[in-house]
Amino acid sequence: MKTPRCKLQGVFTVRIYLFDLLAISVQVTGPMVTFINNQNYTAEIDNAKKPVLLLCMPNGPDFSSQSILLHQIAEKYKNTVKVCLLEEELINGFKQMLNIKGTPVYLLFVRGKEQGRMLGMAGEEQLAAFLFRYLSSPGKDVGEEVLWE
């Protein structure tokens, strides 16, 4: 059975419970993460006025933490980067098209061209460092992969 992705708007609170005890509560306010599908790819990625951070990741045990991170990045860097999530049904074709070796993978696009990618789970500091490494050095080779341990 396919687990639907949550499309969150406005202010939301995520609570993660561990053994019936409140382990963490996070409130995120701000812009939506744009969901990318076949109909809006060109408009949202190729024609975007700002650089685009795109997460390619199927639903699974770690999806929730990366989704929260995506919303945090969207809020913190809303004036700098457009944040997007690839719809799950496109992931396999997208991986083939861009020679992506695994997921999760974060891709950075500028004017529709891939400027960088980071493979693996990320934290906020790692993702911010990845973004600004590419945004501050436009001479980077397109498609260069950054791996985080």
The pLDDT of residue 19: 59
DSSP code at position 31: P
What is the CB-side half-sphere exposure of residue 146 using CA atoms within 13 A?
22
Q: How far apart are CA 127 and CA 73, in angstroms?
A: 8
Contact criterion met (CB below 8 Å) for 86 and 54: yes
Span 6-23, pLDDT tens digits: 444 444 445 555 555 555
Q: How confident is the model at residue 137 (pLDDT cuts 50, 70, 90)?
A: low
Whether the ω angle into residue 51 lies within 30 degrees of 0, i.e. cis, is no
Q: Looking at per-residue confidence, does 38 or 147 come out higher? A: 38
In one letter, which amino acid is 59? N
Span 35-94, pLDDT tens digits: 999 999 999 999 999 999 999 999 988 998 999 999 999 989 888 899 999 999 999 999
Q: How far apart are CA 110 and CA 18, in angstroms?
A: 40
